[in-house]
Chains A and B, each alone.
Chain A
């Protein structure tokens, strides 16, 4: 089993692999928040997240014997959640290429300068983000729609990197992708979401 795994976890995982129900319950208790949070951020729907949580632990129970311990347990777990989320996505034509990324508003590769040689700002600044309490319905709505439009493959990478704060290497390991593929998906996801919010957020 991976030496990166805390010793206590290794013991619980080994006991659960041998069919110890108590150890399995312990695993669920330890990781359910993480699984739910990740599933929610990808599905953006409480019902689907709860369903993914159940399905994930059913898979863990069934496949724990196949966990070889070469990677961290959480890497393996994230992979199961991601696969469950991918299976739940709405069946539609693959839309990986449908994210069109136009040049950001006001963006120039050869920036304008004033007579003193200072660069003139042409990219509009964004308003300060409102506090939680006053996040208005319109902004919530725009964000939700933007997320729904972002294909799940991209959303998963975005959530792992920016919400769960995994490194590009860890994300690549979880999703069995190459690091450049992770970076490319992340770049497109960030640019796409930013573009969707820009109209509302620009000062």
Chain B
């Protein structure tokens, strides 16, 4: 009986400890370092110790995750706003180009 009464409290304590440990692990690398690092190595999927730490940090830090998401969206928007392939464009006037070259040779 006694055990049952204590269980939820123990559970809460261990949850707290787990959360604290998790927060500490997340904070081992500071968010400032993460932002700098994300900007340098976005999507490179490296497997160094530092990269593993960063992935761990990202799992528990909604701020860095939101930042990473916004960086990815920035790149995607850059690609999509006025994509040159969506328009017809003038191919180089090769004959004109070669003619100019010929003239400049003479």
Contact = CB atoms under 8 A, between A and B. Distances in A.
A54 B93 contact: yes
A113 interface: yes
Interface residues of A, number: 59
Contacts of B35: 104, 107
Interface string A84-110: 000000000000000000001011111
A109 B61 CA distance: 12
Given A32-B91, A37-B84, A201-B73, A62 B63 contact: no
Given A57-B97, A197-B77, A119 B23 contact: yes
A61 B82 contact: no
Interface of B: 15-16, 19-20, 22-23, 26-27, 30-32, 35-36, 39-40, 42, 60-64, 66-67, 69-71, 73-82, 84-85, 87, 89-94, 97-98, 100-101
Interface of A: 21, 24-25, 28, 32, 36-37, 40-41, 44, 46, 49-50, 53-54, 57-58, 61-62, 104, 106-111, 113, 116-126, 129, 132, 135, 139-140, 143-144, 147, 158, 162-163, 183, 186-187, 190-191, 193-194, 197-198, 201
